[in-house]
């Protein structure tokens, strides 16, 4: 499921994070990928050991916890601490699939079910830099306002187009979902959003209660905790 989630961060909070990153010590982004990814990756990232990465990453995690839409779409069980990258001067990341298992700082691992890119500056700040995701319907090009996020299956083939003007700055991270299968997550998300609309529209209380029960019983059946 490909989903745009608006205003994970307010414009003010996105600007605050962006300002903190202006003076950051960036590292070659190829340091965090294997040989295959290194051949097509040309960007900069905050080093994993950076105290600034940890501080800003916690700000992102706090914002995610306040987003019901993010929770409904991703059904997060574990989230890899957010990372930060910058593309400039022709920087790009060719087509790739995210690794299936991600190692955390404490040596534990999480399975990557859902990928998320949180945009930290507006598309007017740069040229290029589209997040391009390929699926059976073709290629989808995405650039979003500062503070907005895109979630998509980690199994997706995707790339970042070259940035030819300015700098594209973002946070990115992976989620291990309580529901591993993307089709089941989509079904639950669509059911949840339908229930919320029915409640808002004043639909029959007994019917919405029954449908809510179906949602939770499906989640109970499919969830891994």
Block residue for tokens 């700055």: 169
Residue 136's SS3 state is coil
Q: Is 158 annotated as a binding residue?
A: yes
Which is it for the CA torsion 152, 157, 163, 167, positive or negative?
positive
Q: Which of 176, 20, 23, 22 is nearest to 98 (CA)?
A: 176
Q: Is 204 annotated as a binding residue?
A: no
DSSP 6-67: TTSS-HHHHHHHHHHHHT---EEGGGGS-HHHHTTEE-EE--TT-HHHHHHHHHHHHHHHT-
Block residue for tokens 């700082």: 105
Strand partners of residue 28: 44
CA 138 to each of CA 4, 19, 156, 157, 158: distance values in angstroms, whole numbers, following the listed order: 18, 36, 12, 11, 11
Q: Is 96 annotated as a binding residue?
A: yes
Which positions make up the binding site for 2-oxoglutarate? 168
> Which residues make up each annotated binding site?
96, 98, 158, 168
Which residue ranges are tagged as binding site for Fe cation?
A: 96, 98, 158
């Amino acid at each position: 499921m490909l989903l745009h989630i608006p205003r994970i961060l307010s414009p003010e909070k996105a600007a605050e994070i962006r300002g903190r990153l202006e003076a950051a010590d960036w590292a070659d982004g190829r340091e965090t990928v294997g040989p295959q990814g290194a051949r097509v990756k040309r960007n900069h990232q905050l080093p994993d050991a950076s105290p600034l990465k940890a501080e800003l990453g916690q700000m992102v995690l706090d914002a995610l916890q306040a987003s019901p839409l993010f929770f409904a779409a991703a059904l997060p069980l574990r989230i890899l601490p957010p990372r930060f990258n910058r593309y400039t001067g022709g920087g790009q990341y060719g087509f790739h699939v995210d690794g299936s298992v991600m190692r955390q700082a404490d040596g534990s691992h999480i399975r990557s079910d859902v990928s998320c890119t949180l945009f930290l500056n507006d598309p007017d700040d740069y040229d290029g830099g589209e997040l391009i995701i390929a699926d059976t319907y073709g290629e989808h090009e995405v650039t979003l306002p500062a503070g907005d996020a895109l979630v998509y299956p980690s199994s997706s083939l995707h790339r970042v187009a070259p940035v030819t003007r300015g700098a594209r700055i973002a946070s990115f991270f992976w989620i291990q979902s309580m529901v591993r299968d993307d089709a089941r997550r989509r079904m639950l998300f669509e059911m949840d959003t339908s229930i919320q609309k029915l409640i808002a529209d004043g639909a029959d209380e007994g019917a919405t209660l029954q449908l809510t029960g179906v949602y939770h019983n499906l989640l109970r059946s499919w969830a891994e905790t």
